[in-house]
Amino acid sequence: MAELNRRTALLSAGGVAALLASGLLPGTAAAAAGEQTRGGPPDPVAATYLRVLLRHTRWAEQQFDQAAGIYPAKDFTFAVVLGNALLLTRDGYDAAIAGIEKDQLNAHTLATIRHFAASNLLTGGTEWGRKLFFDTTFQSYFLLAARLLWTELDDDTKRNVERITTEQAAYTTALGTGDDPASGSWTPNGLQGGFQGDTKLEEMGVYAQSLAPALAWAPDDARANAWRHAFGTWSRNEGGLPAADLANPRLVDGRPVSANTATNLYDTFLVENHGSFGPHYQEELWRTSGRNAMHFLAAGTPLPEVLTAQPNGELLWRTMLLMTSDAGEPLMPMVADREHLYGRDVIPLAFRAQVLGDRHAAYAEAQLAARLEPYQAYAPADRITKFSGEPKYEPEARAELAISYLLHEWRAGQRPVTAVTKEEFDAHATGTADFGAAPGLLAHRSPAAWAGTVTKPGFVKFAWQPHHDDWLFVLGGANPMLLPATNIAVRERHATAYAKVRDGFDGTVGVLRFDTGYAAFATLPTGAAVYASTGVAEGEGVLNVYNLTMPGVPGLDGDRTYTAAEGSVTIKAQAAATGARTDDLTFAPVTARHVRMLGVQPDPQYGYSLWAFEVRDGDGPDLARAGTASASSASPGKEAKYANDGNATTRWAVSTSDRPRADSWLAVDLGAAQTVDRVRLSWEAAAGRKYRIETSQDGVTWTAAATYPVPALTSTKGRLDIDGRAGITVAGPNPLTVTGDHVTLSDGPPAPFVAELRPGSAQASGRVTTTAAAVEATVTDGFLVLLNLSGTAASGRATLPGENRLYRGEQTVTRTGTEFSYALAAAEGRIEPPRFTLKAPAGVKAVVRDASRVELTAPAGLLPVLVTVTPDGGRARPVLLPPRRTVPVVFGDVRPYPLTDRALGRTTFPAEPLPPGMSSPAAAVDDDPATAWRPGPDGRMVVDLGAVTAVSAVELAWTRGRVPAASVETSVDGVTYATATSGPARYVAVRTRWRTGDASLSRLSVLT
């Protein structure tokens, strides 16, 4: 931060002249000074951005309206001018790649800037502008483009650009904390904000973003103080959470964080948008910061402090780290169609890396940049937001790539940010979090995989991505994963998150109850996961696999290979992504009057829709044309009759409400019994993933004639390797099948089964027998997983073969392993890591109390028994056991996991930015005696226990030195505190009268 402050000071020292002299902005500052082209890209990532922008210009030029002579207003397409302006003012322009000569691109760009500067509402136009949502986002891009080409603009256009800049700020400031009447429901809800369903972080960020250009380019305007006050207020409240903010007296731009009033985050530091957790919106804090910062940097105006000292920004970033894929962007289990918006996800990482100096963000940015060109080359070629249905993302992504380039250019004058290694990143990003029942996300990122239990209605799934590979399994939105559908109603949610600092390992268990039974998902620190089900539905254990030809992206080489005990099959990728499909199914001739398509699995987004349903006998005519069609449901104007009317432009589609329904159907009454042996189904994009063709004489009793699709691989041996990237072992009565790019682990009627999923190769099943029918158990990668899939408590024994690993609880050595005794509450899931290994004869009983203590009892006999006990990761110890005597064995050098201190590893406040003189309070709850919290003058810290807890005692441990006077306070809401060391509390605070030289707090312990 000191380096950044020096840079900020230089920016304020002399505007453009100082920038040119310093070399901080070789491109941007020179453009403002009047030069036309600058040097080449400052680093390899920036060079990638420049190449992508050049290629993307082909798409931009396809949008150019030749008749009007401008890029159009529709979907804010004219925002492409920012990418154009960057290319026009940097070396390396290549007309062959861009698809247009440079002077022609320059003419198109200047004409567009001239037009839209005059047509903005703030300059007397009527076409666009002033509206905070979403005009000011594209206004920000537009204004920056104009500044890059400033010396080529005519005087009227310059005046219009300046007027847009200042009058937008005046308009926004005049609103106070009220709503923009032009923006409809897109309101920040004053300074109160909101977080349930739709965070107001984005809305407050837009208010701030509408003010940034004026503060950057017109800092001496008489109204600038009012703009500055409004900008700071909106910016500081973007990540507002009272429990955190009230604990932070730090001044940011002269105002204390504790003066914030907004609640824009869940108390687990996660945001929702459109009713679900969407990481794109979690990133919004840094997306708007990147846009805003670039205006200040380009203008040579000091950065407002809030851009580099964002309240709660680092805790939000921890959420993003937990979700990060190997491609640098987050995994998105609740985002319907935007899992791969690489272009749009650049700017948050570029801001964090290049402005904040975040080395972990720099690593993620480099990974994302490495995928940009292969992604861009994939059909439709040249675009950079391919999988989104909203056209406005394309010009926006172009603009944000340009800003990201400029941020790299800004950084080039100083010491570059060195990205961490992959190993460092994975170690830093590892962790678990239960974000709560309302957000509906229990997440775990291990070095080898990402996993999540998702219970948000409409997105319910157990998600798993080995190697954080966002192009292996399809896990977004309504795409099912493991559970056969995402619209299953969750009746109970039982979530457990294990943390290494408290438990000695990271892991999660989610146990869910549905109307039809229970399913559970356990995730392990090795990247492995265990799925167990009572059999909640037909065709369970769903994995949809990406299979694309996208050279340059690992794994996307155009096919996927599946290997089972019975053999291998390679599935070739389609030439391009398409939803429309024509299926020709033949079957043994049958005489029937009625023929129908009965759905088994719909398209995840849109259900079923058919352009045509044809029925034939051999090469004969379409018998359905003369028949009468009916359906389970239909959308208005898309009734069943349009599927057999012979018109290729009309279609049947299920009703909107029935889109998630699996068993929708379309039937045709042929009028009389006829011989048929084939059907042709011409699907719209809503093509059925799985269905049956059935026939009937009376329209009541149906007989299956054919199924779609026919599996390419069926295995009853319970092991499957997916392209060498994922190995799955299944124990259950149904076969596993591979059909196209669709894997079903229990392909048949509902039935109990257990699946173990591992990064890499499949291994032998670790399923073990238990004496309670409702309890499933495995020993997976050495971890004992116990899952009670019932609504009642269960106890019994599990037979554990093999290496005599000892787990917390009671077990007895047998000739083949151990017998472990368990007692589980209703719907309880547990993960027990191996705490010891025991070499002992049959009959020896072991009771493991924790990772450091085990009690061993010898069986009856005449002689003592010599055994060897080894703690996990420790040294072996021989122990002599007298007959029928219990001997406690304690390893004093081993941490006694699980630890009883409820404060360990919990979130602490103040979070960054920290008050002067204070170190991070997280050091008091990290279980590291070498670290400690330095309170600073009269410092105060808070630990969030995660839930209201019955506290029995609070203990403080200090480093050597004079111990300052301190008091303990507790709160259930994080707002109102009372002095107490026991009682119900979620938040526990320590208030000190600390002076320089006093001891620091090495440990804050909360006991129950």
| Ranges of residues in the chain whose predicted pLDDT is under 50 | 1-37, 577
CA distance 929 to 927: 6
Quote the tokens at residue 228.
Answer: 């500055």
Quote the tokens at residue 601.
Answer: 């699995």
Q: Do the beta carbons of residue 653 and residue 584 sit within 8 Å? A: no
Looking at residue 371, the DSSP 8-state letter turns out to be H
Residue-wise pLDDT tens digits, 910-931 = 999 999 999 999 999 999 999 9
Task: Find all residues with CB under 8 Å of 95, minimum gap 6, and list them.
Answer: 101, 102
Beta-bridged to residue 954, according to DSSP, are: 1006
User: At which residue do the structure tokens 């390679």 appear?
Assistant: 570
CA distance 213 to 167: 11
Q: What is the pLDDT of residue 22?
A: 29
Percent helix, strand, coil in the chain (nearest 5)?
25, 30, 40
Residue (of 916, 920, 857) closest to 884 by Cα position = 857
Quote the tokens at residue 645.
Answer: 């009317």
CA distance 208 to 236: 10
Reduced to 3 states (helix: H, G, I; strand: E, B; else coil), residue 757 is strand
CA distance 440 to 486: 13
Give the DSSP H or E segment for 696.
strand 690-696
Task: Find all residues with CB under 8 Å of 880, minimum gap 6, and list them.
Answer: 864, 865, 866, 887
Measured in whole angstroms, how far is the alpha carbon of residue 37 from the centre of its chain? 39
CA distance 260 to 242: 7
Beta-bridged to residue 941, according to DSSP, are: 990
Q: What is the pLDDT of residue 174?
A: 98
Distances 329 to 364, 674, 838, 985 between C-alpha atoms, Å: 7, 56, 45, 37
Q: What is the pLDDT of residue 940?
A: 98
Determine phi and psi for 521, rounding to 5 degrees. -145, 120
For residue 85, give the amino acid letter. Answer: A
Task: Find all residues with CB under 8 Å of 129, minimum gap 6, and list them.
Answer: 119, 120, 121, 122, 123, 135, 139, 164, 168
CA distance 287 to 399: 12
Quote the tokens at residue 884.
Answer: 């029928």
CA distance 330 to 281: 11
CA distance 149 to 146: 5
CA distance 265 to 248: 16
Give the DSSP H or E segment for 122.
none
Quote the tokens at residue 17.
Answer: 């002249």
CA distance 225 to 374: 47
Q: What is the pLDDT of residue 579?
A: 61
Rounded to 5°, the CA angle 486-743-334 comes to 30
Rounded to 5°, the CA angle 435-440-445 comes to 55
Residue (of 692, 743, 749) closest to 719 by Cα position = 743
Q: Do the beta carbons of residue 627 and residue 673 sit within 8 Å? A: no
Quote the tokens at residue 742.
Answer: 């669709």
